[in-house]
Structure 1
Amino acid sequence: MGICCKQSYIHTTNLDDKAVLRAENIASDVNLLNSVEHRRIRDRMVNMFNIGILEENLSSIPGVVNILEKIQEYVPADGANVHTLICWRDGLSYERHVDAQSSRANADNSLLRLEGLEPSAQVFHKRMLLMQNVFNQRSVTRNVSESFNYVSEFLRFVTEGYITAFALEELQLDDLNEEVEINTEDVQRVSEVIVDNIWNPTRIVDG
């Protein structure tokens, strides 16, 4: 079976600082790129490469092991000790990656244990798992015409969730179960604040 394997990596070898700060205490210029950093990012983008198509079966542990061994050739290493990189996967590929590493758990060194690649679920799959496991939203598919009612229900669910979160913030509440005394005027005020923040009026210009 010919499988086209696409991976993404984030370098972690420079993340040795153990200090932890709140985001609000980090200076804004830390997140702003200077001209040197811009040039370095451009240079890295120019040097992208394609490892090609790996003729392996992603549905089998031996196939995934072979894929990880091949990709691991591009991971920085010092002898048998590797500098682990994050490997972004979808939910199912993540599980197979973990199973492949488990099959090599008793190997003699980091390379043989496939520790050069640390699996992590991609953001959209984390969201998908959250919707399935926490909110029991399982029936939405990418083909809207085949599941129109489920998609419509999902959009309504998400919208109501955002509105509820917005209302909690405006009322300075930390939890839905927190008790607070509010009246009709409070509800009206919160409603107006929410609408004012999300409303995008059309500006009409003569001519």
Structure 2
Amino acid sequence: MEYVVQGIVQKNFPQFSEAHVATIQHQYSDISETKSEIVNLGVIQENPATARRTLEILKYLHKYVPIGQNGHPYPILCHGDQLSVERMVEAKLSMAFSEDEADQLTGLIPRPQGFHKRCIVLQDSMNMLFSGSTVGDKGSLFHIKNRFGFRTVKKKISDCVNSVVDFFNFVTEGSVCMIVCNILDINNIDMNSDVIPEDENERQEMFKDICKSVVRLIWPHIDMKSIQQAAEGNVIQDSDSDDDRQYLDDTILYWNDQTQDELEETLPYYDEDSDDEFDLPEVVDQNSGDSVFKYSCSMLWRGLLHMVQTNAERHNNGDQLMSDWRLDMVSRYSKIVGSVGKALEDILQVNVIQDYIPHASSSDGSSKAKLKKFIEEYGVEELFVDKGEERHHTGFQDFKHNISVKNPEKLNARLNKYVKALENEEFLYN
């Protein structure tokens, strides 16, 4: 995440234009930089909405799976959304006992596509931060949208994915530049700061320290207690709860019509029945400190997070992609249901924290004129200064900027179900 900030600062601050931003390298970097040869296999006249038709699609695709010298096929990923992956797994299971290895569809590996996951996480960000009730509150996403003319941005991102991505990138770059201006004690990005040393080495060190400071400022609180509860799977359910006591055993892996009632309270998808422009979050305790600061930090954190994940895909960085999925499992899927084994605590302490601070590159960016206007508009609001006093955007009185498992017992049940599905897949591929 520091690399994202470094790229933004280097691009927008003249005194740091010569600063060195480390490039992200991994074992497949050289191969990934070469241009791929794309072959169009045509349109398959089958409906992927059923497992039977999905099986026909996989049979067609299997003809193009390359065979190694040892006679075994190379593993080839088949991407799709969650439902498509479910049907591909079911189709492969139906052919698992075929005598002919080719009929077993070996070599085709069903996996969810990163784009679909990123859209879901982006929708979560809009659900969390974008509210019409804040139309008059400076520094809120809704106010920024109106002030800078992002008219095509809506809360339901499926109608405007690219517009929402551009919007978040602009807000993220503007927020980073605003924090750096405050650190350097300058009014805008085109001004020179007296605190920046002339020596090249000292300037490079200051450049790194500033970028680290930005990341540390907006780093969320990690609720290790809830994660540990989820990992141990021994959360005691309230005896007065009206929830179904059998949900720990009956949690299903994929969404269908029968599970709509069970999951609708935990799935953070966009609610089509909600008011897109003026949906009011629940009002809670107002004595919660500086919620504007927490909201602003969360807004910037999630913007940087989206940049990190996008660039990991662009650079074919498998290790970073795995780190993305681990974080999203806790921060996003915890809203659905809780965790398996002691591993979750290790995921947050090792895989997430260690991976996210240093990795990723900068975004495509926004024009400097708009960024300057952004800083002029919101710099005086001190959005990233914790005043310790009661401040909040309308409807965000008790806003929390943290990573926690909302329903540990439910996530435990869901991931236990995933384990069973993975065992089925392991049977298919081994």
Taking structure 2 as the reference length, what is the TM-score of the superposition?
A: 0.26
**Which has more strand, going by share of residues?**
1
**Which has more helix, going by share of residues?**
2
> Which structure has the higher relative contact order (CA within 8 Å, separation 6+)?
2
Taking structure 1 as the reference length, what is the TM-score of the superposition?
A: 0.48
